[in-house]
Amino acid sequence: MPQIVVLPHVELCPDGAVLDAEPGMSICDALLENGIEIEHACEKSCACTTCHVIVREGFAALTPSEEDEDDLLDKAWGLEPASRLSCQALVPAEQDLVVEIPRYTINHAKENH
């Protein structure tokens, strides 16, 4: 079973984490199932960028992103070549991943409160 190494994030995962993940599930679901409360304002429907992650290792093993995801990623804070929306990126069958959750998200609902 592949593992996801989550790099430390000051709010969501201060010490980092190593998670077992089912192949084919989204990175977002894997994080949520393991108590890492990554934002997903659009309820994982590929309509926002709050679940943006940077895949530091294993990026090439992910299925390619689709145009909808690419268009949204262009609006993400801290976009990098290995950026993905965690609701769209599926855990590969035989490759561990190392992911970084960016420090900031663009969440208009949260920013207005």
User: What's CA 9's distance to the chain center, in Å?
Assistant: 12
Q: What pLDDT score was predicted for residue 106?
A: 67
Tens-place pLDDT, residues 5-52: 999 999 999 999 999 999 999 999 999 999 999 999 999 999 999 999
Widest CA span in the chain: 42
Percent of the chain with pLDDT over 70: 93
Q: Where does 1-113 have alpha helices with state H?
A: 27-33, 67-73, 108-111
CB 2 within 8 A of CB 23: yes
CB 2 within 8 A of CB 97: yes
pTM for this entry: 0.91
User: 104 falls in which pLDDT band (50, 70, 90)?
Assistant: confident
Residue 71 predicted with pLDDT over 90:
yes
User: 109 falls in which pLDDT band (50, 70, 90)?
Assistant: very low
Three-class DSSP category at 54: strand
Domains of the chain: 3-111 (3.10.20.30)
